[in-house]
Amino acid sequence: MTRPPASVTPRAGRPVDDPVYVRLIELMIAARQDAGVRQTDLAARLEQPQSYVSKVENRERRIDVAEYIAWMQALGVDPVMTLADILAAAPH
């Protein structure tokens, strides 16, 4: 059986499409916007290129827990409280 080319492979089912992960990214974007911080400024705080922030926000790059904590702390947001919001809304 031949697999279709990658360009036509459906995106559904990717880890970055998980509803809980999508909500996490939405909250991370909202935290940045609420803080009035541009992507370039957040990237500088994280010592990353601006493309890192863009790829995370566009769900082109998945982040780990340590990166999430650094992101939220760079914005002055308690990462534990944000995770509590996500867990409360997650399907059980």
Q: Is the pLDDT at 6 greater than 90, yes or no? A: no
Among 9-23, 53-67, 69-83, the minimum mean pLDDT is found in 9-23
Cα(37)–Cα(7) distance, integer angstroms = 34
Residue 19 is predicted with a pLDDT of: 87
Total of domains in the chain: 1
Q: What is the CATH number of the domain that holds 78?
A: 1.10.260.40
Q: Is the pLDDT at 24 greater than 70, yes or no? A: yes
CB 50, CB 40: distance < 8 Å: yes
Q: For helices 39-46 and 50-57, what crossing angle results, to 10°?
A: 110
> Average of pLDDT values for 73-84?
93
- pLDDT, greater one: 5 or 56: 56
Instruction: Please check whether residue 7 lies inside any domain of the structure.
Output: no
Q: Is the pLDDT at 5 greater than 90, yes or no? A: no
Cα(22)–Cα(30) distance, integer angstroms = 12
CB 15, CB 62: distance < 8 Å: yes
User: Residue 57 sits in which domain range?
Assistant: 15-89
Residue 12 is predicted with a pLDDT of: 53
Cα-based torsion angle of the residue sequence 54, 57, 62, 67 in order, rounded to the nearest 10 degrees: 80
